A and B are shown apart, each in its own frame.
Chain A
């Protein structure tokens, strides 16, 4: 990697998957990432939420607050995902109550003090880190449900060349007519509803090209981790069999109603 390339690793929702987070931190460092970012949603879904935070702090990950963290920190009643389906709401509540109960006050305070957005300016490229979208922490930006003209508007409105978000759980990117990029970096918490057990994060290279024009490249990286061990920890914590099935099969079993047609059709359920 040449000296004038700034490489960052960007992690999406961790969902208490401390094993995947540890594997991703190691992987990103091996790939030469100079900075690590995490876009929020540290808890949910997985076991023992408190195991995540020391990993973030020890690895000097620049962290920001997602809707889950916002809810937990403020003691809200739910995770602000906005489900209407009773089954989805049942699992979302169960997961939220477990995570709330198992997150210590120290880390609740810590996450409540995190910013809702971060920025980075390198080689003249303005990068904006957000959770859902720059304008709304819990906005779902799915590949098949987000027009390019809307992303162009966001870039203009929020004065960013590169916008990085998470929240949906499925990674994707789009190059914009302006030359900018939008990328949803995916999540470390659970697989991407693609039938494989790996989870995903994004490596972002910001460079000055030979003509002096800045260039940004986003690459998605699959992370293999000890998912069987995570499943065992989830069983020990009496988390739902439906969640464990997702970890061991790679297919989403819950919270499916918010998926648009194309993303839904790619899954098993």
Chain B
């Protein structure tokens, strides 16, 4: 091609066809997410898609009373499970009580960086998990099987601290799901996976549960690696013969201190805020963000059983 490239409108595909971003209806509210510590985190990872840090107060903590109230309301919606994320959920002093309440109603998952697992939180959480007939999943984010690969992303010393966290969780009776963002070349997936398994066995995790996530090219990650290409967005044609239930927005909503949002990835986008109540938020969502492309490609990556390797075709 010669000459300067024409600017491509977001609703145009690479080949120039016009294609409006399609909408996805909420099929059923299976999963209720809690942005329990907002965008506040003890770490400042270079690939964070919502740019969390100790000082990012875009979203604040949820109160125990708020979480309890949303959990009660979840019954009318037949919610199947609850996810707690942030920021770093273990920064919230009421996390143990929140999880205890959630586990009275259904299964729960916590997404943590594993570097803050004080006994005063972990012990009551372990007791609540033991008492409940529902599973409590703890997902620990570690982005490489060594300090050399993980620490440049997550911060100095975080690999050792997170591995200590994994050991603490094992001792408390959990089988954590180690969750890694694919910050390496896809060709070395298997090598990285095996290195992870070896390191986790070193700390006593004999049959580790490992989940590999694609990176989301927004927030800080857009600066660390790259943002989305112009062609990387969802078109109406791409949803033909596609099971929409693979997309998080077909089955989830996220509670924040600023209202109900469509999904935990897009909370920094104003159009992702759907209202103050679940009723208001039960509307179709237009897949007009490039990050929707990643979700489309891999299927509900944020849930415990999604990730790279799944065939969503």
Q: Which of A's residues lie within 8 Å of B, judged by CB? A: 77-78, 82-86, 89, 135-136, 142-150, 152-154, 156, 256-258, 260-265, 269
Contacts and interface: CB of A to CB of B under 8 A. Distances in A.
Decide if the interface of chain B is mainly helix, strand, loop or mixed.
loop
Contacts, number: 89
Interface string B104-127: 011100000000000000000000
B188 interface: no
B310 to A, nearest CB: 4
Contact of B209 (A83, A86, A257): A257
A261 B81 contact: no
Interface stretch (B57-65, B129-137, B223-231): B129-137
Given A147-B80, A147-B107, A86 B190 contact: yes
Most chain A CB inside 10 Å of its own CB: which residue of B75, B80, B129, B310? B80
A104 to B, nearest CB: 26
B74 A149 contact: yes
A70 to B, nearest CB: 13
Contacts of A85: 210, 309
Nearest to A82: B310
B137 to A, nearest CB: 5
A89 B107 CA distance: 26
A264 B79 CA distance: 23
A193 to B, nearest CB: 13
A269 B212 contact: no
A82 B305 contact: yes
Most chain A CB inside 10 Å of its own CB: which residue of B75, B79, B305? B305
Contacts of B106: 146-150
Contact of A150 (B30, B211, B245): B30
4 closest pairs, A vs B, by CB? Answer: A153-B78, A147-B106, A84-B309, A150-B80
Contact of A146 (B80, B190, B210, B304): B80
Interface string B242-254: 0001000000000
Given A86-B190, A135-B28, 17 more contacts: A78-B311, A84-B211, A84-B212, A84-B305, A84-B307, A84-B308, A85-B210, A142-B135, A145-B134, A147-B81, A147-B105, A147-B106, A148-B105, A149-B105, A156-B78, A261-B137, A269-B207
Contacts of B133: 143-144, 262
B181 to A, nearest CB: 14
Contacts of A262: 133-135
B283 interface: no
B152 interface: no
A86 B134 contact: no
B82 to A, nearest CB: 9
Nearest to A142: B135
B78 A149 contact: yes
A89 B309 contact: yes
Interface string B208-222: 011110000000000
B79 A149 contact: yes
A143 B28 CA distance: 20
Contacts of B174: 261
Contacts of B137: 260-261
Contacts of A269: 207
16 contacts: A77-B311, A82-B310, A84-B310, A142-B135, A143-B133, A144-B107, A144-B133, A147-B105, A148-B106, A149-B75, A150-B106, A152-B78, A153-B78, A260-B135, A261-B135, A261-B136
Contacts of A89: 309
Interface in B165-205: 173-175, 189-190, 193
A136 B310 contact: no
A152 B50 CA distance: 35
A145 B173 CA distance: 18
B107 to A, nearest CB: 5
Nearest to B309: A84
A30 B80 CA distance: 38
Nearest to B107: A145
A84 B211 CA distance: 8
Contacts of A256: 207
B78 A145 contact: no
B309 A83 contact: yes
Contacts of A84: 211-212, 305-310
A53 to B, nearest CB: 28
Contacts of A153: 28, 77-78
B245 A136 contact: yes
A265 B209 CA distance: 11
